[in-house]
Amino acid sequence: MLAGCASAPAGIDAQWRAPDAGRPLGGGVRVLVACEAAETALVRLCVERFSAELTARGATAVAAPDAPPPAAAGPRDDARYVALARQAGAQAVWVGSVSAAPAEPRSSGMSIGLGGFHIGGGGSGVGVGVTLPVGSAGTAAVEYAAEARITEVAGGRLQWTARAASGGGGDAGAQLDGLSRRLVDAAAAAGLF
């Protein structure tokens, strides 16, 4: 049984499980799915992807109604999600959190060359050359990271949490597909289904 500082499965940066956590997602239980992100598009993609993964594991996913995001630097307080879960008849809360961090910028490909100074006997000359990229060079790829946490509704206690980084490029939807799959798989491996 995993407890406390549980070792993280491949693709998971960090994971924790409450020592007395049961199987809050087992047996087709109703799960309120909420997501936190700086952008509405990321919130929607997050809820959609986690709901699909949880449903594929046998849970009944219920999307949380839109709610204002928590304060950026404030402590995590899932009490509002627990209250929404009770109203929806859910026994557990799955909260996903998505953040974006710019990756290393790709080279712009632009270069300027200066060469061939010649002064004397009949004139002088200077050569200047500029090359510019063709295509998408010069943009910074955005990589996403996601955290997930499970809170049981009856007692309002955190049962499990984990974090994963995408480690790959692609659009936000593709990255969230991989992140949601890895996090739900990690919850299953931790015995929460």
Residue 186's pLDDT is: 96
Structure-token match 């050569």, residue found: 127
Residue 9 lies in a domain: no
Number of residues that this document lists for the chain: 193
pTM (2 d.p.) = 0.76
Residue 78 lies in a domain: yes
What is the dihedral angle through the alpha carbons of 151, 152, 157, 158, rounded to the nearest 10 degrees? -30
pLDDT band at 117 (very low <50, low <70, confident <90, very high): very low
Report helix angle 172-189 to 40-56, nearest 10: 40
Residue 33 lies in a domain: yes
Q: Is the pLDDT of residue 118 over 90?
A: no
> Residue 179: what are its φ and ψ, rounded to 5°?
-65, -45
Output 183 or 116, whichever has higher pLDDT.
183
- How many structural domains comprise the chain? 1
Q: What percent of the chain has pLDDT over 90?
A: 51
CB contact at 8 A, 124 and 146: no
The HSE-up count of residue 17 (CA atoms within 13 Å, CB side) is 20
Residue 127's pLDDT is: 47
Q: What is the mean pLDDT of residues 72-87?
A: 83
Residue 162 lies in a domain: yes
Q: Is the pLDDT of residue 89 over 60?
A: yes
Output 87 or 131, whichever has higher pLDDT.
87
CB contact at 8 A, 32 and 90: yes
Residue 87 lies in a domain: yes
Residue 179 lies in a domain: yes
Residue 129 lies in a domain: no
Q: How far is CA 53 from CA 58, 114, 187, in A?
A: 9, 57, 11
| Residue span of the structural domain in which 172 resides | 14-103+141-189
pLDDT band at 149 (very low <50, low <70, confident <90, very high): very high
We report the CATH number of the domain holding residue 78 as 3.40.50.10070
Average pLDDT, the chain: 80
For residues 144 and 171, give the distance between their C-alpha atoms in angstroms, rounded to a whole number.
Answer: 10
Strand, coil or helix: 172: helix
Residue 1's pLDDT is: 39
Q: How far is CA 97 from CA 45, 78, 122, 137, 180, in A?
A: 11, 12, 70, 30, 11
Residue 105's pLDDT is: 56
Q: Is the pLDDT of residue 75 over 60?
A: yes
pLDDT band at 64 (very low <50, low <70, confident <90, very high): very high
CB contact at 8 A, 66 and 40: no
Residue 91's CB is within 10 A of a number of other CB atoms, namely 19
pLDDT band at 88 (very low <50, low <70, confident <90, very high): very high
Residue 133 lies in a domain: no
Q: At 147, list the tokens.
A: 């955290």
Q: How far is CA 91 from CA 14, 76, 82, in A?
A: 25, 20, 9
| Bridge partners for 143 per DSSP | 101
